[in-house]
Structure 1
Amino acid sequence: MFLHGRMKSNAVDPALLLTNKEKDDMEAGRLHTTTMSDSYGGIRNSVGIVLFIPRMYRVCCISLVICLVIAGMCCLIQSSDTASPSAAITSVANTAASTAMTSPYINDRDDNKQTLDKIGDTERLHHIDGHHPVSSVSYVHPHGKLNQSSDENRMLTSRIQLRPYKDTGIRLPVLPNYGSPETARLGCDHIYVIHNLGHPDRLLRMVKLLQLLRISAEFVPVMQPPESLLRAHMAALNRTSNIPSLENIIEWHTRHRIFRDMAEQGYRSAMVLDDSVDMELNIKTIMRAIHRHIPTDWDMLFPGHCGAFEGTQPRPSPDALPSLRLANMPICLHAHAISRQGLMRLLHSLPPLPTSNEIIGMAIMRLKEKGLLKMYSVDTPVFAPRPAAEHEATGLAGNKKLDISAVDHLALWQGQNKQKQH
């Protein structure tokens, strides 16, 4: 309307705005159109009108049409965004990224409490049985109205509790028991998830992922050994070369604690996952099939690994799953399972702390090379580390793209393009 008004108020004779060449061309056009048949009268009139429109007016009209088209497209995009379901998981706040601790190995009660207290605005501290402080985080189904009879809805609206891990002040989520070990624990008696305290975003994502898939697991913090034990160990080495790094000692100590806990709890088998791991969306079905075909004398199973040549290895038997292989060198410990007999062999062969700078993953592979461990792998892996960008440069097989990523499905389900929450 504004543009139309400007054009009307400043109107001038179109002929004054034409150059001599344009006048000649228009005059030739008139002579040419008079020779045409009357059946083309409509076309002739249209061409005449267009030719008489000054150049400036034509540019303005074209610009106006383009603006109208862009405005219409924006309206369509906005309406589609508002119509799509968005997640409303109230426990996740924008402060998750800003609460990362300066050290991934902090185990101080107050520092860790401050980090987890900032997970969401709905978090409240209270006491259970008057003893342990527990923080509850509530989850809301992203599609709005809930059907309370749905198992999935009950899972997502349940309150996840944060309790101190064993004898430490580190509070971690406590997931409910979602059912039998065959499904809820991927065919094992127990699942451990190793959480790096320097990445609270991974903890939040893993909790939501396990909730979505209805997988029960126990979170275990990455912990540094006591200073007295560390000093005594380094003094016992009594050398200055090939000494283990602090990072190596911490990882070794954390995983050896899991081995000892598995032995103390009497678990016949357990799966150990990193908190950064992704998995196939139908991981329960895959793991049930694997456990039906794996030999009963297995020590370790690697459904997730970084091995490059596992596909060239033979199957355990002719009727075994095509993806189940006798392990070659799976390496990487982001997703593996341990049987009871495999656990006993690990505890017998591996000291509580490293005696060299060899990482625990390679130490386990050496036990396999010596024939001390019966190891199996899955090709291609059904677990993969995330984010993939950190591992793409290596080109290892364990970093292949999953068929149906559970993490991607979770992001889609939550609605990553949801409107900003106020």
Structure 2
Amino acid sequence: MQSEMKSNAADPLLPEEEEEDKHLPTFSDSYICFNKDDSTVFRLSRKYRTHFISFVICFILAGVCCLIWSSDHTSTSATTATAVSAATANSTPGSTRDLADSKKTIGGSKHVLHIDVNPTAIPLPPGQHDQQKHLPAEGIQIQLRPYKDTGINLPVMPIYGSSETARLGYDHVYVIHNLGHPERLVRMARLLQLLKITAEFVPVIQPPQALLQLHLPALNVSSTSHSPSLANIVEWHTRYRIYRDMANEGYRSALILDDSVDMELNIKTIMRAIHSHIPADWDMFFPGHCGAFESSQPKPSPDKLPSLRLANMPICLHAHAISHKGLMRLLHHLPQMPNSNEIISMAIMRLKEQGLLKMYSVDTPIFTPRPEEHSTNGSKRPAGNKKLDISAVDHLSLWRGKNGSGHQ
């Protein structure tokens, strides 16, 4: 009994005044864990307690750093995966404010392509500059530039790489923008961003007034049905201007698209296969057309791509490519302005029928106009067209989210 009392007195962890609590530890000097089954006591000294606390703090800090890095990485990925509206649906075409403050232009011999990453800057129509509008935080503002000698601001798409990948195998890609449909400009800019296609937007513009007066007769009773309409003159002038620009810039080939087109999501893979099989003598190629009988046309040769065809009458120009040889023949045989009410697509087909142009097409178009924009009821497609296997525009709505916010 005395030895037990001495043992208890020698242990500083047991209070001397409370005999009945001799088995309970105090935590003034250390952490103590005990197991009631075997009464084993584990003591952690102050040294180990300090190490334990330091380890816990370091572990917590490391976790916080990982969370911060993960959040930043996710935000950056979302930013690079989204394109932003280059114009708003309620903006007046051609009146959007130019965001540039430098002397760089688009359309010259050297194309300067730039992305303004300021997500709060958005072009506003005149009179609305004081109403600051904000884009989603993950948005990328595509910079606007006036197109050549016009005051029309259009998106400047970035350079995504070589022509083989970024320009679908051509020296240049043109996108014709109808100023009456700003929503198409927004969608097409996003679509090019999604597919990483570098293109130059070109506006549909009227020819100079003097040229109009020369070719467009006064609207009176004496006018005949053979006189060119204003719509035909504008389209002819727009496309002829592109052909002249292609020659002036020295492009050996170019793809010309309307801003209303949709395309296959794997368009780059398809175009690589076409370029490896299309004969070298091609003048014009129609990856998009309105020809009802292209699928029945023969292939250039048995070993060529199954979908490649000798063109019959592709007609539509919403997606067509021109080689340098074909361009020279177009500029030589097409007048600068129409002499009759013949539309430019039929004038080009006439050159083909005369044996002046070597044309190729595909059995089923891989570029198609959106059905809702081709007809008033939204249910019809041009002749020879069918629903795309994987629509890039439909995928765009999934990529950016149904509300266009960039979230799935």
Secondary structure at 1:125 match in 2: coil
Please state if 1:372 is matched with 2:364. Answer: no
Partner of 1:21: none
Please state if 1:396 is matched with 2:375. Answer: no
1:15-414 map, 5 Å: 91-92=84-85, 96-100=88-92, 112-113=94-95, 116-117=96-97, 125-129=99-103, 138=117, 159-234=141-216, 240-241=223-224, 242-388=226-372, 390-391=374-375, 396-414=382-400
Structure with greater contact order relative to length (CA < 8 Å, sep ≥ 6): 1
Q: Which has the larger radius of gyration?
A: 2
Quick one: which amino acid aligns to residue 165 of structure 1? Y
Q: Which runs of 5+ in 1 are unaligned?
A: 1-84, 102-111, 118-123, 141-155
Q: Which runs of 5+ in 2 are unaligned?
A: 1-76, 107-112, 120-137
Quick one: which amino acid aligns to residue 217 of structure 1? A
Quick one: which amino acid aligns to residue 263 of structure 1? A
- Residue 262 of structure 1 contacts residue 270 of structure 1 at CA under 8 Å; is this kept in 2? yes
Quick one: which amino acid aligns to residue 223 of structure 2? T
How far has the Cα of 1:92 moved from its partner?
3.9
CA deviation digits over 1:20-77, x for unaligned, max 9? xxxxxxxxxxxxxxxxxxxxxxxxxxxxxxxxxxxxxxxxxxxxxxxxxxxxxxxxxx
CA deviation digits over 1:173-212, x for unaligned, max 9? 1111111111110111000000011111111111111011
> Aligned partners of 1:418 and 1:222: how far apart in 2?
27
CA deviation digits over 1:232-274, x for unaligned, max 9? 23469xx832000000000000000000000001111000000
> Aligned partners of 2:286 and 2:207: how far apart in 1?
27
Partner of 2:134: none
CA deviation digits over 1:139-183, x for unaligned, max 9? 87xxxxxxxxxxxxxxx8654211111111111111111111111
- Residue 304 of structure 1 contacts residue 398 of structure 1 at CA under 8 Å; is this kept in 2? no
- Residue 115 of structure 2 contacts residue 140 of structure 2 at CA under 8 Å; is this kept in 1? no
> Aligned partners of 2:315 and 2:293: how far apart in 1?
11
In structure 2, the CA distance between the partners of 1:270 and 1:254, relative to structure 1 (3 Å rule), is same
Secondary structure at 1:172 match in 2: strand
> Aligned partners of 1:417 and 1:210: how far apart in 2?
19
* Cα root mean square deviation, aligned: 3.1
Quick one: which amino acid aligns to residue 150 of structure 2? T
Q: Which structure has greater helix proportion?
A: 1
> Aligned partners of 1:390 and 1:411: how far apart in 2?
20
> Aligned partners of 2:279 and 2:99: how far apart in 1?
47
Secondary structure at 1:271 match in 2: strand
Structure 1 length as normaliser, TM-score?
A: 0.65
Partner of 2:37: none
> Aligned partners of 1:419 and 1:136: how far apart in 2?
19
Structure 2 length as normaliser, TM-score?
A: 0.67
